C-alpha cells in the first residue's frame, strides 16, 4: 500500500478529469510491467505492456447493442453469466500489488474493500478472498514458494511459463465445457478476438486458460523527434527527418557537437522495452533479439542470427561516440525515479525511440514542463530508406487466466470477467460519469482493475477506436450516443481525450492521450501504417515448451549480457560467434528441436 | 616513563592520526549524506547537489513521512519484533550455552548435542522447504514468523558458551558446594559474571532483528505486515512507482517531493535507533566479543 | 567427614537432568526450523513437481547435479564465489590488523576510543540501507566520480556496470562494513601483549617499528591465524544479501555467486530441483572446508570452536 499515498497527495489538488482516470492505465502501466528482472528486454514480451495497461472494454464494435441495457434481457450465455449463485461462493485469489493508477481512488480503499469485491459479492454472490498480497516485484518469488508448497489460487493470471508448468502438472482445471457454456460475443472479443486466439490456451485439445493478448502491431517501435529542439540544428520540417541509419547518424553527430551528448536515451532493457531502447535500430537492420521465424519450413531463432552483428557493431560505434550514457546498462527504464525517464521529461533528448504510447507518457510530462516542445513521429529508420521488414508475433500472449485445480466453481471466472466488463461499460460514457453522485463517484474510483486476477482488454481496440473516432471527427460530431460506440472499454476514454484535446490543445496531458491514440501521424496511426506497409515476418512461437521453462531464462540472460557487452565494447563483435555456440549448447538446440516439433505437428 | 621522541615520531603520529581520522570519517560521512539529503529540497537532491550539508533546507520529507501511516506502522512492527525477538534470543542463548559449557566429563551428552546443533551451521534445507515447513505450521503472515525461526542462533550460543568456559570455575564450584542446582548456578552465578558477553549478544540480536528484511518479505502475505526493514528494502531495491498521466498540479507537487529525499528520511529514521542504543552497550563490547569469539 | 560431605555435594554437579531440560527449547527449535526443512533436500535427487509432491515426483538420482555442472552460469558463480570470498576473508583481517596496529600507536586515548567506536558503526547497518547509499555514491554522476573528475581529472567511470570495478566495490564495501569488529578484537589482543616484552625490546634498543615487528605481531599471530582459518570455513559464503541488493545483470559475470544463482533459479525461476542440487553441492563443499580448517586449528593451536 506504500506508494498510494504519494498519489493521494498529488491528487488532492487535482481537478477531476475523467480522461485522467480512465486512461491513466495506458501510459503508466507499462512502467510496472518492467518489474525487477522479470521483464528483461525480451522481444517476446515487448507487447505486454500496453496490453495490461488499458482498463478497457470489450471491443468488437458497431453492431451490438449497448451492453448496459443488454444485461436484463440478455439471452443464453449472457443470462447465465449474470445469474448470481444461490449460496455464497468463495474464490481465492492472490495479488501482485500495484497502486491504483487512478489518482482519485480513495486513500482508505484496499483490495479487500474495493468496489469489485463488494459488488461481486452483492450481485453474484462471489466472495473474492485475497490469500496473499505482495508488491509486484516480489510476486514471482512468492508465487514460486507458494507453488512449491502446492497452493494454486482459484483464479489466477499466469505467465506463459507458469501456465505451461502448472498445466503439465495437472494443476489447472480444463475449462472446455465451461467455455462453451458461457461464451458470448463480449467475452470472445477479449480472449478470442479473431476466432482462433483461444486455441493458444489449449493443450491436447483441452482449454486450460484464457489467453490475454495484445494487437500484434503493438510490438512495433517508432522514432519521436522534438522539432523545437531540432530547429537549432537546421531541421525545420518533418521531411528533413532522417530516413536511413546514415542520415540518422549525421543528425546525432550534429547534436553531439551542439550538446556534447548523450543524445539518445538508453537503458539496460535494450530491446523491446518500448521506450528509450534500441529496438528501432535493430529493426532498421531487419534484426531482432528474439523470436522464431519460419525459414523454409524450419523455425529459426532470430537472436542468434549472424546478421545481428551489424547492428551490434553500429551500436558499439555509437556508444564509443557517446550517443548513450556510458553506464546506460545500469539503469532500468521501469524503475521508479528512473534517470532515463527523468532526463526525457527534462527535455534532455530531442530524439526518443519508443512505442505508440510514448506521447501518453512520458512525453506528455515533457510537454507539460516544456510547452514549446513539438514532438512528431519520424520515418521508420532503415538502411536504404525503404520500410524494412518487421517481425511481429503471430499471437502475442502476455498472460493466461487460469483456474486452479481446487476451485469448486470454475465458471466463476467467466462470471467475474463478464461482470467487470459490464460494470466498466455501464459507467464509462461521459453522460453517466457526469450524472454520478459523489457516492457513486467514490464507488467508481474504488474499482481498481489491477487488483483483479484478470483483464478485460480487447486486443483490437486501439485500431478500432482510431478509425471510429477519426470518422466521427471527420463528420464533425461532438456528441455520440451509447449505441454509436464500439464496445471496447477503452473507447470512452479515447473519445473523452479527443474532446478534451479539441478544447485544450495546449495542455500537455491532453496532447499526450490524443497524440498517442488518435492524431494523424500519431502513435497508433504510425503503428497501423507500419504494419500495413511493411513485409511481415511472424514470430511463430506462442507456446512454451518444457525446455523453455527450464532454460529460456538463463539463455536470455546470456544473450542480454553478450549484446550489452558488445555494445559497450567489452567484448569484440566476434564474441557473437562464441555466444551462438554457447546458446546452442546450453539448451538453445533443445528448444529449437521442441518448437520445430510443435510447429510441424501444429 | 619518558621516552625520547624524535621528529620522525611526530611525523608518524600526525600521519597516523590523519589516516585514522579519514577512516573514521568514511564511516560517518554516508550517514551525514543521508541526513543532509533528507533535509534538502528535492530539486537539490535530484540534481545531485547535496553533499554533507542540507541544501535548500526543508522538512518536507519528514512531514510527508509523518502523514504516511504505513511507514510508522512498519516501524511499530519492527519495534515489537526487536522486543519479543531479542527476549527469545537471549533466554535461549543463556539456557543453551550453559549446559554446553559443561565439561564433557560432567555432561556426557554434551558432544552429541553439540554435533546436533553444529550440523545446522553447514547444512540447510533451503528456502523452499523452509517455506513449506513454516506454511504447515501456519506461521505464514503471522508476527511469530519473524521471531521463532530465528530464535535459536547457534553462532551466538557458541560465543556465549566460550565466554562461560573462560570464567573461573572456582566460583561456580563453590555455588554447587553450597547446594545450588544448575538453574540457580546459571541465574545467580554465571549470568551476572557474563554481563559483557550478554550485552554484546543483546546488541547483535537487537540489531539483527531491526535490520532483518528478507523473512518479512518472504513470509508475510500482506505488505501491511512488513517490518520496517522489509518495507525499506522493497522500496530501495525495486521501486515500481508508476507515473501516470500527470496534470500540472501533480507535477508541481511531485517535484517538491522527491523519492530520494523521502527515502533518505526513511533510511535515517531506520539508522537512528541503532546510533542511540550502540553507545550504551558499547562499553561491554571489547570484553564481550573478545572473550567469546576467540579464546586466548 | 567434611571431605565426604563435600564429595556428596559435588555430586550434584553430575546431575544432568536439568541440563537436558535447559537444552530442550533449543533442540526443538533446531529440529523444527533446521532439520525438518532438510527433508526438502530430497528434491535435489528428483525432478520435483510441486503438485506431485515429494512422494510422486520422479526420482532422477544425480541427474540434477550433472545438469548444473554443465551450466556455464554455475561454473561462473562457483569461481566468483571463491574469488570474492577469498579476498573478503584476507582483507577483512588485513585491514583491521593495520587499523589496530595504528590505533595502538595513538597516544590520546579519547581519539583511540572514538575511532574504535566509529569504525564499528557500519557493522550495524543493514545491506538494504547501505546498498541504497553505495549505489548512489558510485553512480556515473555520483560523488566518487565527481571527486575523481574535479581533483584528479579522471574521466568518470561507469562503476556500476563495470565488470572491472564492480567486484572490487563489492569486496571493499563488505570489508569496510565489517572492519570494526575485527579491529576491536585485534586491538584487545594487542593491548594484552605482555608489557615486559616491549620493555625488553626497548632495552635492546629496538625502534618502535622494530617493536611492532618483533613483539606485537608475533604475539597476536595466533589470533590472526585463528581468524583466518575460521574465515576459510566460510569460503563459499560470499555475501548473499549484499550481492542480492547491489548487483545488476550486467555485472553478473563477475559478481554472481552460488547463493544468488540458487535464489534466482529456485525462487524466481521455479527450478526447484536444480536449485536444491546446487545448494546441497555448496553445503558439501563448505563442509569439507570447515572440516579441514577446524582440524588445522585443533592440531596447530589446540583451539576448539565447539
Q: What's the pLDDT tens digit per position in A554-565? A: 788 889 989 999
Whether residue C134 lies inside any domain: the answer is yes
Residue B9 banded pLDDT, cuts 50, 70, 90: confident
- Residue B126: φ, ψ to 5°: 95, 170
Q: Supply A530's cell numbers.
A: 507500419
Helix (H) or strand (E) holding A82: helix A76-82
Using the predicted structure, report yes or no on whether residue A230 has a pLDDT greater than 50: yes
Does residue C212 sit in the same domain as residue C251? yes
d(CA C124, CA B205): 11
pLDDT band at B105 (very low <50, low <70, confident <90, very high): confident
- In the predicted structure, residue C273 carries a pLDDT above the cut 50: yes
Q: Is A560 on the interface with B (CB under 8 A)?
A: no
Q: How far apart are CA A492 and CA A483, in angstroms?
A: 12
**Phi, then psi, of B100 in degrees rounded to 5:** -70, -15
Question: B291 falls in which pLDDT band (50, 70, 90)?
Answer: low
Residue B244: closest CA among A398, A462, A448, A519: A448
SS3 track for B184-241: HHHHHHHHHHCHHHHHHHHHHHHHHHHHCCHHHHHHCCCHHHCCHHHHHHHHHHCCCC
Q: Does residue C3 belong to any structural domain of this protein? A: no
Summarize the confidence of residues C116-130 as an average pLDDT: 85
Q: Do B131 and A149 touch (CB under 8 A)?
A: yes
Owning domain of residue B192: 65-293
C-alpha cell at B59: 522538512
Decide if C131 contacts C246 (C-beta within 8 A): yes
Segment of B106-120, B179-193, C18-32 carrying the highest mean pLDDT: C18-32
Residue C113 lies in a domain: yes
pLDDT tens for A237-250 read 888 999 999 999 99
* Full DSSP string of A257-286: HHH-S--S---S--SS-SBSSSHHHHHHTT
Q: Are residues C100 and C243 in the same domain?
A: yes
Across C200-212, average pLDDT: 84
β-strands A206-207, A210-213 pairing:
unpaired
If asked whether residues C93 and C226 sit together in one domain, one would say: yes
Helix (H, G, I), strand (E, B) or coil at A390: strand
Alpha-carbon span B38 to B45, nearest angstrom: 9
Asked if A31's CB is within 8 angstroms of B243's CB, the reply is yes
**Contacts of A574 by beta carbon, 8 Å cutoff, 6+ apart:** none
| Res B274 pLDDT > 60 | yes
Question: Which CATH number characterizes residue B120's domain?
Answer: 1.10.3720.10
Nearest to C269 among A152, A553, A561 (CB): A553
* Range with lowest mean pLDDT among A97-106, C78-87, C174-183: A97-106
C34 touches chain B (CB under 8 A): yes
| Chain C from 43 to 82: CB within 8 A of any A CB | 48-53, 70-73
Verify that C34 and C76 share a domain, yes or no. no
Kindly report the CATH number assigned to the domain that includes residue C103.
1.10.3720.10
Contact between B244 and A20 using a beta-carbon 8 Å cutoff:
yes
Residues C135 and C205 in one domain: yes
Number of domains in chain C: 2
| Cα distances (Å, whole numbers) of residue B81 to A418, B85, B279 | 45, 5, 21
A19 touches chain B (CB under 8 A): yes
Say whether both C88 and C231 belong to one domain: yes
**C-alpha distance from residue B4 to each of B17, B34, C105, C195, C202 (Å):** 20, 46, 15, 18, 12
Judge whether C1 lies within some domain: no
Nearest to C23 among B24, B99, B186 (CB): B99
* C272: confidence class by pLDDT, cuts 50, 70, 90: confident
Q: Which domains does chain A have, with CATH numbers?
A: 4-216+398-503 (3.40.190.10), 222-354+545-597 (3.40.190.10)
Q: In this structure, are C146 and C34 located in the same domain?
A: no
Q: Are A89 and A414 in contact (CB under 8 A)?
A: no
Taking a contact as any Cβ pair under 8 Å apart, which residues of chain B between 138 and 197 contact chain A? 140-141
* CA gap A116, A443 in Å, rounded: 9
Task: Give, as one character, the DSSP assignment of residue C155.
Answer: P
Q: Name the pLDDT band for A576 (thresholds 50, 70, 90).
A: very high
Chain C residue numbers with beta carbons less than 8 Å from the beta carbon of A141 are 267-268
| pLDDT of res. A320 | 93
Q: Is the pTM of this model over 0.80?
A: no
Quick one: CA dihedral A112, A118, A120, A122, positive or negative? positive
Instruction: Give me the domain span that covers residue C119.
Output: 72-301
Residues forming beta bridges with residue C222, ordered by sequence position: none
Checking if the pLDDT of A24 tops 50, the result is no
Q: How many CA atoms lie within 13 A of B203 on its CB side?
A: 25
Q: How many domains does chain B have?
A: 1
Same domain, C47 and C131: no
Beta bridge partners of residue B84, listed in sequence order = none
Angle between helices A245-259 and A308-321 (to 10 degrees): 20
**Domain co-membership, C214 together with C169:** yes
Average pLDDT over residues C188-205: 84
| Domain assignment of residue C306, yes or no | no
* A3/B241 Cβ within 8 A: yes
Asked if residue A62 has pLDDT above 60, the reply is no
Q: Is residue C271 part of a domain?
A: yes
d(CA B157, CA B97): 5
A409-450: pLDDT as tens digits: 999 999 999 999 999 888 888 888 888 999 999 999 999 888
Q: To which H or E segment does residue C235 belong?
A: none
The reply to whether A509 touches chain B by the CB within 8 Å rule is yes
Compare A39 and C168 and report the one with higher pLDDT. C168
Mean pLDDT of chain B: 81
Q: Given this model, what pLDDT does residue B23 score?
A: 93
Q: What is the pLDDT of residue A31?
A: 32
As a whole number of angstroms, the distance between CA C134 and CA B72 comes to 25
Instruction: Check residue A23 and give its pLDDT.
Output: 36
Per-residue confidence at C216, pLDDT binned at 50, 70, 90?
A: confident
Mean pLDDT of chain C: 84
Do the beta carbons of residue A549 and residue A525 sit within 8 Å? no
Is some CB atom of chain B closer than 8 A to the CB atom of C207?
Answer: no
C-alpha count within 13 angstroms, C-beta hemisphere, residue B264: 30
Which of C:243-272 have CB within 8 Å of B? 245, 262-263, 266-267, 272
DSSP sequence for B81-121: HHHHHHHHHHHHHHHHHHHHHS-TTT-TTHHHHHHHHHHHH
Assess contact for C239 and C174: CB atoms under 8 A: yes
Answer whether residue C150 shows pLDDT above 90. Answer: no
A28/A54 Cα distance (integer angstroms): 9
Instruction: Tell me the percentage of chain A whose pLDDT exceeds 90.
Output: 38
The beta-carbon neighbor of C185 closest among B51, B179, B290 is: B290
Q: Is the same domain home to C37 and C157? A: no
Letter string b/e over residues A310-338, b meaning 16 or more CB atoms within 10 A of that residue's CB: bbbbbbbebbeeebbbbbbbbbbbbbbeb
In a domain, B195, yes or no: yes
* Domain shared by C143 and C23, yes or no: no
Report ipTM for this prediction.
0.82
- First-residue to last-residue Cα distance in chain A: 45
Considering just the CA atoms, what is the radius of gyration of chain C in Å?
Answer: 25
Percent of chain C, pLDDT > 90? Answer: 23
> Residues C44, C88: one domain?
no
Touching C: which chains, 3+ CB pairs < 8 A? A, B
Give me the residues of C, 41-100, that contact B with CB < 8 A: 41, 43, 99
Residue C215 domain flag:
yes
DSSP class of residue C32? Answer: I
What is the pLDDT confidence band of residue A25, given thresholds at 50, 70 and 90?
very low
Going by pLDDT thresholds of 50, 70 and 90, the confidence category of residue A218 is confident
Nearest CA to CA, how far is C110 from chain B (Å)? 12
pLDDT of residue C2: 56
Span A459-463, mean pLDDT? 86
Question: Sign of the C-alpha dihedral, residues A558, A563, A567, A571?
Answer: positive
Q: Are B158 and C305 in contact (CB under 8 A)?
A: yes
Q: Rounded to whole angstroms, what are the CA distances from B137 to A132, B142, B145, B149, C36?
A: 17, 11, 10, 11, 11
Strand partners, A134: A96
CA dist C178 and C113 (Å) reads 18
Amino acid at each position: 500500500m506504500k506508494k498510494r499515498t504519494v498519489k493521494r497527495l498529488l491528487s488532492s489538488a487535482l481537478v477531476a478529469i475523467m480522461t485522467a482516470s480512465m486512461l491513466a492505465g495506458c501510459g503508466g502501466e507499462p512502467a510496472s510491467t518492467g518489474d525487477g528482472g522479470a521483464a528483461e528486454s525480451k522481444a517476446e514480451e515487448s507487447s505486454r505492456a500496453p496490453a495490461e495497461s488499458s482498463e478497457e472494454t470489450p471491443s468488437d464494435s458497431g453492431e451490438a447493442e449497448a451492453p448496459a441495457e443488454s444485461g436484463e434481457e440478455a439471452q443464453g450465455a449472457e443470462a447465465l453469466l449474470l445469474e448470481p449463485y444461490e449460496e455464497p461462493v468463495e474464490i481465492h485469489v492472490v495479488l501482485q500489488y500495484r497502486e491504483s493508477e487512478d489518482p482519485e481512488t480513495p486513500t482508505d480503499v484496499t483490495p479487500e474493500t474495493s468496489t469489485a469485491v463488494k459488488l461481486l459479492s452483492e450481485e453474484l454472490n462471489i466472495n473474492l478472498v485475497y490469500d496473499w498480497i505482495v508488491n509486484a516485484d516480489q510476486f514471482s518469488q512468492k508465487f514460486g514458494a507458494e507453488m512449491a508448497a502446492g497452493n494454486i489460487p482459484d483464479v489466477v493470471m499466469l505467465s506463459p511459463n507458469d501456465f505451461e508448468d502448472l498445466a503439465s502438472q495437472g494443476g489447472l482445471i480444463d475449462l472446455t465445457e465451461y467455455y462453451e457454456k458461457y461464451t458470448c460475443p463480449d467475452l470472445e472479443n477479449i480472449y478470442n478476438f479473431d476466432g482462433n486466439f483461444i486455441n493458444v490456451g489449449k493443450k491436447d485439445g483441452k482449454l486450460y486458460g484464457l489467453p490475454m493478448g495484445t494487437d500484434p502491431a503493438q510490438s512495433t517501435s517508432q522514432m519521436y523527434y522534438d522539432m523545437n529542439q531540432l530547429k537549432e540544428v537546421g531541421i525545420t520540417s518533418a521531411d528533413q527527418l532522417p530516413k536511413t541509419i546514415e542520415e540518422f547518424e549525421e543528425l546525432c553527430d550534429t547534436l553531439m557537437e551542439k550538446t556534447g551528448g548523450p543524445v539518445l536515451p538508453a537503458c539496460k532493457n535494450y530491446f523491446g522495452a518500448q521506450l528509450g531502447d534500441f529496438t528501432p535500430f535493430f529493426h532498421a537492420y531487419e534484426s531482432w533479439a528474439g523470436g522464431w521465424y519460419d525459414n523454409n519450413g524450419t523455425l529459426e531463432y532470430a537472436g542468434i542470427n549472424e546478421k545481428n552483428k551489424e547492428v551490434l557493431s553500429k551500436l558499439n560505434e555509437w556508444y564509443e561516440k557517446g550517443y548513450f550514457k556510458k553506464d546506460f546498462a545500469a539503469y532500468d527504464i521501469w524503475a521508479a525515479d528512473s534517470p532515463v525517464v527523468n532526463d526525457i521529461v527534462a527535455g534532455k533528448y530531442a530524439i526518443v525511440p519508443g512505442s505508440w504510447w510514448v506521447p501518453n507518457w512520458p512525453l506528455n510530462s515533457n510537454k507539460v514542463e516544456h510547452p514549446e516542445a513539438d514532438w512528431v513521429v519520424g520515418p521508420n529508420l532503415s538502411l536504404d530508406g525503404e520500410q524494412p521488414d518487421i517481425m511481429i508475433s503471430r499471437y502475442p500472449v502476455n498472460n493466461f487466466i487460469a483456474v486452479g485445480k481446487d476451485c469448486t466453481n470454475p465458471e466463476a471466472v467467466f462470471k467475474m470477467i463478464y461482470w467487470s466488463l459490464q460494470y466498466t461499460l455501464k459507467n464509462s460514457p461521459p453522460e453517466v460519469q457526469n450524472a454520478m453522485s459523489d457516492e457513486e463517484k467514490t464507488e467508481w474510483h474504488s474499482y481498481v482493475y489491477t487488483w483483479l486476477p484478470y483483464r478485460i482488454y480487447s486486443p483490437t481496440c486501439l485500431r478500432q477506436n482510431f478509425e471510429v473516432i477519426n470518422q466521427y471527427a471527420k463528420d464533425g460530431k461532438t456528441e455520440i450516443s451509447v449505441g454509436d460506440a464500439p464496445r471496447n472499454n477503452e473507447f470512452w476514454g479515447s473519445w473523452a481525450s479527443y474532446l478534451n484535446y479539441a478544447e485544450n490543445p495546449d495542455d500537455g496531458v491532453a496532447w499526450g492521450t490524443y497524440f498517442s491514440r488518435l492524431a494523424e501521424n500519431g502513435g497508433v496511426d504510425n503503428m497501423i501504417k507500419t504494419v500495413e506497409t511493411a513485409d511481415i515476418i511472424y514470430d511463430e512461437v506462442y507456446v512454451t515448451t518444457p525446455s523453455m521453462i527450464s532454460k529460456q531464462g538463463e539463455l536470455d540472460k546470456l544473450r542480454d549480457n553478450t549484446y550489452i557487452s558488445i555494445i559497450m565494447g567489452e567484448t569484440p563483435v566476434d564474441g557473437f560467434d562464441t555466444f551462438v555456440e554457447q546458446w546452442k549448447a546450453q539448451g538453445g538446440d533443445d528448444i529449437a528441436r521442441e518448437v520445430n516439433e510443435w510447429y510441424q505437428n501444429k | 616513563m619518558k621516552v625520547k621522541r624524535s621528529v620522525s615520531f611526530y611525523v608518524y603520529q600526525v600521519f597516523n592520526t590523519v589516516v585514522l581520522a579519514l577512516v573514521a570519517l568514511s564511516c560517518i560521512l554516508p550517514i551525514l549524506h543521508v541526513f543532509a539529503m533528507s533535509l534538502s529540497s528535492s530539486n537539490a537532491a535530484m540534481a545531485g547537489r547535496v553533499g554533507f550539508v542540507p541544501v535548500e533546507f526543508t522538512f518536507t520529507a519528514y512531514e510527508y513521512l509523518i502523514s504516511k501511516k504505513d511507514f510508522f506502522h512498519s516501524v511499530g512492527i519492527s519495534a515489537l519484533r526487536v522486543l519479543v525477538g531479542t527476549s527469545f534470543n537471549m533466554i535461549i542463548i543463556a539456557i543453551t550455552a550453559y549446559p554446553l559449557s559443561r565439561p564433557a566429563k560432567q555432561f556426557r551428552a554434551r558432544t552429541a548435542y553439540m554435533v546436533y546443533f553444529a550440523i545446522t551451521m553447514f547444512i540447510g534445507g533451503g528456502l523452499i522447504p523452509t517455506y513449506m515447513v513454516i506454511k504447515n505450521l501456519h506461521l505464514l503472515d503471522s508476527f511469530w514468523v519473524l521471531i521463532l525461526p530465528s530464535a535459536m542462533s547457534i553462532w551466538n550460543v557458541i560465543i556465549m558458551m566460550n565466554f562461560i568456559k573462560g570464567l573461573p570455575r572456582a566460583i561456580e564450584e563453590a555455588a554447587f558446594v553450597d547446594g545450588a542446582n544448575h538453574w540457580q548456578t546459571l541465574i545467580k552465578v554465571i549470568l551476572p559474571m557474563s554481563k559483557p558477553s550478554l550485552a554484546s549478544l543483546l546488541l547483535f540480536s537487537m540489531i539483527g532483528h531491526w535490520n532483518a528484511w528478507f523473512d518479512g518479505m518472504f513470509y508475510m502475505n500482506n505488505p501491511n505486515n512488513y517490518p520496517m526493514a522489509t518495507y525499506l528494502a522493497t522500496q530501495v531495491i525495486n521501486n515500481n512507482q508508476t507515473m501516470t498521466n500527470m496534470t500540472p498540479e501533480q507535477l508541481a507537487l511531485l517535484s517538491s517531493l522527491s523519492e530520494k529525499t523521502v527515502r533518505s528520511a526513511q533510511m535515517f529514521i531506520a539508522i537512528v535507533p541503532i546510533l542511540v542504543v550502540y553507545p550504551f552497550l558499547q562499553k561491554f563490547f571489547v570484553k564481550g566479543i573478545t572473550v567469546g569469539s576467540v579464546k586466548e | 567427614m567434611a571431605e565426604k560431605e563435600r564429595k556428596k555435594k559435588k555430586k550434584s554437579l553430575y546431575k544432568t537432568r536439568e541440563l537436558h531440560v535447559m537444552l530442550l527449547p533449543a533442540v526443538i527449535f533446531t529440529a523444527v526450523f533446521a532439520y525438518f526443512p532438510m527433508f526438502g533436500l530430497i528434491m535435489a535427487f528428483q525432478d520435483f513437481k510441486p503438485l506431485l509432491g515429494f512422494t510422486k515426483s520422479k526420482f532422477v538420482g544425480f541427474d540434477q547435479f550433472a545438469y548444473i555442472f554443465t551450466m556455464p552460469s554455475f561454473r561462473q558463480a562457483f569461481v566468483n564465489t571463491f574469488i570474492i570470498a577469498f579476498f573478503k576473508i584476507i582483507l577483512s583481517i588485513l585491514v583491521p590488523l593495520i587499523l589496530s596496529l595504528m590505533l595502538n600507536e595513538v597516544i590520546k586515548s579519547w581519539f583511540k576510543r572514538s575511532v574504535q567506536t566509529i569504525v564499528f558503526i557500519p557493522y550495524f547497518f543493514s545491506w538494504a540501507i547501505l546498498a541504497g547509499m553505495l549505489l548512489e555514491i558510485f553512480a556515473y554522476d555520483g560523488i566518487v566520480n565527481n571527486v575523481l573528475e574535479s581533483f584528479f581529472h579522471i574521466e568518470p567511470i561507469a562503476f556500476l556496470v563495470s565488470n572491472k570495478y564492480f567486484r572490487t566495490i563489492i569486496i571493499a564495501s563488505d570489508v569496510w562494513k565489517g572492519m570494526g569488529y575485527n579491529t576491536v578484537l585485534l586491538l584487545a589482543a594487542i593491548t594484552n601483549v605482555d608489557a615486559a616484552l616491549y620493555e625488553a625490546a626497548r632495552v635492546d634498543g629496538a625502534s618502535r617499528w622494530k617493536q611492532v615487528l618483533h613483539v606485537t605481531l608475533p604475539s597476536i599471530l595466533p589470533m590472526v591465524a585463528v581468524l583466518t582459518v575460521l574465515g576459510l570455513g566460510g569460503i563459499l559464503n560470499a555475501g548473499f544479501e549484499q550481492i542480492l541488493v547491489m548487483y545488476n545483470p550486467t555485472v553478473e559475470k563477475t559478481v554472481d555467486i552460488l547463493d544468488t544463482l540458487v535464489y534466482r533459479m529456485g525462487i524466481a525461476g521455479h527450478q526447484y530441483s536444480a536449485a536444491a542440487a546446487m545448494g546441497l553441492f555448496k553445503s558439501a563443499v563448505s563442509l569439507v572446508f570447515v572440516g579441514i580448517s577446524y582440524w588445522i586449528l585443533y592440531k596447530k593451536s589446540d583451539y576448539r570452536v565447539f
